[in-house]
Chain A
Amino acid sequence: MSLDEIDRILSPEEEILPSSGFTASVMDAVRREAAAPQPIPFPWKRASPGVALAGLAMVFAVIIVADFTRVIRQASAVRVPSTWMSALAPIFHDPLHPEAVWLAVAFVVTLASIMVSFRLASGRA
């Protein structure tokens, strides 16, 4: 089969006519679309304090995890802990341990940012 013959067959392909209700159906859909309320944009302005707090909490968390990892490494250099719990035990047993304070700060900041976000989202701020 030649290319000319392929061209000849494919060019005058049958043309179909729109069904009688097509225009009305499209216009109904368009009117529904026009009548639908516009999507509510995300309230970035109101959410920005929460977002900033969440960012800060994230930075704190990274610092704490890095610090915590360093402490674990130091502890395992002295003696090999049998489990993770035994590695964590000295931190929680000593309330003045600086890592415990950092953990508490991170926890409070995270909790506060979650609460602020919830208040902003529910419109009670």
Chain B
Amino acid sequence: MNSGNDHSPNDHSDVEKVLAGDVSAFEGIVRRWQRPLINLAYRFCHDRGRAEEMAQEAFLRAYRGLGQWRKEAAFSTWLFALATNLYRSELRRIPASAVPLDDLPEIPDARACDGGLEDKDRHRAVRHAVSSLPAKYREALVLFYFHDMDVPAAARSLGLPEGTVKARLFRGREILRSKLPRLFAVPKLKEA
């Protein structure tokens, strides 16, 4: 996922124009950042419609707070931090539907391939498990993978020290590892 700094000069000039009163210049910012912002929201809520609503609200807040962007940090850093804060508080207000880890259903026919499940089912089960984690671990994991496993970027988006994010990542992945084998267990065949 591109969360980098490639658009910096364009962002800079568009922000200047918007602050000078040219509202239409904000469209450039929306076009450049809509995809990452919607995808980040989607990773939090796994609901396409809601992801777009949350991303729209993030853009509105960015527009309102554009003057607060201190230009020594990249625009993307500021925008992702703003969006992450919004998404986190939105999900605290109305949580995404998630099944508790211990209640995740056993997936039928666990012998489908290489002694486990089909890839699609495995992926779905792992994502379900992530969305069932306690918020602080889930947020760290979502941001870590969204930023291509870049801990400093995840830490900046969360507004937390890198050490805290590393600790949460470690704990979150340990919980996943301990909970997931149950889902992929191959049922023992009855002896004839």
Contacts and interface: CB of A to CB of B under 8 A. Distances in A.
B127 A26 contact: no
Size bracket, chain A contacts: 20 to 34
B90 interface: no
A27 B52 CA distance: 13
Contact of B60 (A13, A19, A26): A26
Interface string A23-38: 1011101110110000
A23 B59 CA distance: 10
Q: DSSP majority for the A interface?
A: helix
A18 B177 contact: no
Q: DSSP majority for the B interface?
A: helix
Contacts of A29: 56, 59-60
Interface residues of B, number: 37
A8 B31 CA distance: 29
A3 interface: yes
Contacts of B26: 27, 30
A29 B31 CA distance: 15
Determine which residue in A2, A3, A30 has the highest number of CB atoms from chain B within 10 A of its CB, and name it.
Answer: A30
Given A22-B56, A26-B56, A26-B60, 10 more contacts: A1-B177, A1-B181, A6-B126, A6-B173, A9-B122, A13-B145, A17-B35, A18-B55, A22-B38, A33-B63
18 contacts: A1-B177, A1-B180, A1-B181, A6-B173, A10-B145, A15-B39, A18-B35, A18-B52, A19-B52, A22-B55, A23-B31, A27-B26, A29-B56, A29-B60, A30-B26, A30-B30, A34-B23, A34-B63
